[in-house]
Amino acid sequence: MLFHTLPFLLFMLVVLPVFYLLRRTPLWTPWLLLASYFFYGWWNPYYLLLIFYSTALDYTLVALMDHCPGRREQAALPNGPRDRALSAALVVSIGLTIALVIGAIAGPAALRPTFWFFSVLVGLMALGAYLRSRRVWLLISIVNNLALLLFFKYARFAIQNLAFLGLHLPDPSTLMPPGFTYALPVGISFFTFQSMSYTIDFYLGNVERERGFLRFATFVCFFPQLMAGPIERAKHLLPQFRRTPVFRLENLTDGMSLFLVGLFKKLALANYLALYVERVYDNPAAQPASALVRVADLLRLQRLHRHGARRGQNDGLQPHPELQQPLFGDGSGRFLVTVAHQPLVVVPRLRLHPAGRK
């Protein structure tokens, strides 16, 4: 659902009025969650299971991490879990690991790699429960989220390159469950890194545990920044879902003006620049060096205009101020360099986001 299309306009005409009607009730967060899931499911409803899985696992991992003692308490305690939640997690994890190993050995051949992966993941959960180790829970979150990202985004690319070396592996589409097609889920980089950033921030002590699952799920899949970012830190965005939104006419008019300016940047500037950028990148070997240099600058401008085209969609919630200008910093923050979510070609495509850590 592209924001400059009629379906998005109809979507906003329903979501915004109901949001403002519910903003003084506890229902406004579930409403945003429902709207965000509908927004994402418009592309492919099957992949709602993927974003829900990532959300539920990281929420559970942080809850179990919260039951683990700190480093000093860990050194003073003998091995073996005593906390009831960790004891239950240990028993359930061991049982699931055994079942998954059996499925990996005797199950359908197409699903055996999936069974092996989850048997290792659940086995790590059993290890984390037994050792009461916050590091193990963090490792599980990182492994799970990166595995999802690498499988859907780079598996086919890696297999095609390994085939040139004589190593032939099955196509990743053969590993998909029935009813699912192997396709790159829209926004997977954003919701996996945003969910994983919560577990990392909690491990480092930068954010408190979020006990409301609906609030955390809304934080992960918040639709204005679900498809194209920016990736928000939990310590900045999560507290906003705990406060009652305040309606100000100034915010509404500012948001509408930003949206209209963004629409102009998208349709009149970014799309126009894309005509030249795509023509060069479609056949870079046939282009002179001067064209590649020029198109790198045009690509940066295209990214800038595309980012500016998304700034007005905040539903009263404010992104981090340093993320408003992704290519320019005030010198107070460190820059996080991430590879743009496009196929890699001749010129590296980079996006610069100030991380905001001081």
Quick check: 348 pLDDT over 70?
no
Asked if residue 195 is part of any domain, the answer here is yes
In terms of domains, do 47 and 163 share one? yes
Q: What is the DSSP string of 223-276?
A: GGGTTT-PPPPHHHHGGGGTSPPPP-HHHHHHHHHHHHHHHHIIIIIIHHHHHH
Confidence at residue 180, expressed as pLDDT on a 0 to 100 scale:
74
- Assign 108 a pLDDT band (cuts: 50, 70, 90): confident
* pLDDT higher than threshold 80 for residue 191: yes
> Is 256 in the same domain as 220?
no
In this prediction, residue 95 has a pLDDT band, given cuts at 50, 70 and 90, of: very high
Work out the average pLDDT over 117-126: 91
Number of domains in the chain: 2
Output the pLDDT for position 332. Answer: 34
Are residues 35 and 63 both part of a single domain?
yes
**173, 30: one domain:** yes
pLDDT, greater one: 259 or 192? 192
Last residue in a domain, options 215, 241, 267: 241
Residue showing tokens 């299971």: 49
Amino acid at 240: Q
Does residue 92 belong to any structural domain of this protein? no
pTM of the model: 0.75
326 and 304 Cβ atoms separated by less than 8 Å = yes
Q: Confirm whether 214 is domain-assigned.
A: yes
Average pLDDT over residues 169-194: 80
In a domain? residue 321? yes
The tokens describing 74, both together, are: 């860990």
57 and 158 in a single domain? The answer is yes
* Assigned domain for 98 exists: no
Same-domain pairing of 141 and 30 = yes
Q: Is the pLDDT of residue 91 over 90?
A: yes
> In which residue are the tokens 């559970």 written?
60
The residue that leads in pLDDT, 179 or 214, is 214
- Which of 208, 241, 274 is where one domain is finished? 241
Residue 247, pLDDT above cutoff 50: yes
Instruction: Indicate whether 235 and 162 sit together in one domain.
Output: yes
Residue with more model confidence, 167 or 11: 11
Q: Write out the residue range of the structural domain in which residue 47 sits.
A: 23-68+133-241
* pLDDT category of residue 302 using cuts at 50, 70 and 90: low
User: Does 93 fall in a domain?
Assistant: no
- 303 within a domain of the structure (yes/no): yes
Q: Is residue 161 domain-shared with residue 41, that is, in the same domain?
A: yes
The larger pLDDT score, comparing residue 288 to residue 312, is at 288
* Boundary of a domain, candidates 241, 267, 291: 241
Q: Cα separation of 228 and 152, whole Å?
A: 17
Tokens of 16: 């915004």
Q: What is the pLDDT of residues 328-342, one digit of tens each?
A: 344 333 333 332 333
Q: Is residue 311 predicted with pLDDT exceeding 50?
A: no
- In this structure, are 217 and 260 located in the same domain? no
Please report whether residue 170 resides in a domain: yes
User: Mind listing the pLDDT tens digit for each residue in 248-282?
Assistant: 777 777 777 777 777 777 777 777 677 777 777 77
What letter does residue 284 receive in the DSSP assignment?
Answer: G
Residue 27's φ and ψ, nearest 5 degrees, are: -90, -5
What is the distance, to the nearest Å, from the Cα of residue 310 to the centroid of all Cα atoms in its chain?
A: 17
55 and 152 part of one domain? yes
pLDDT at 157: 82
Q: When comparing pLDDT for 66 and 279, which is higher?
A: 66
One domain, residues 166 and 226: yes
- Residues 143 and 195 occupy one common structural domain: yes
Q: Rounded mean pLDDT of 12-16?
A: 89
Q: Please list the residues that pair with 353 across neighbouring strands.
A: 336
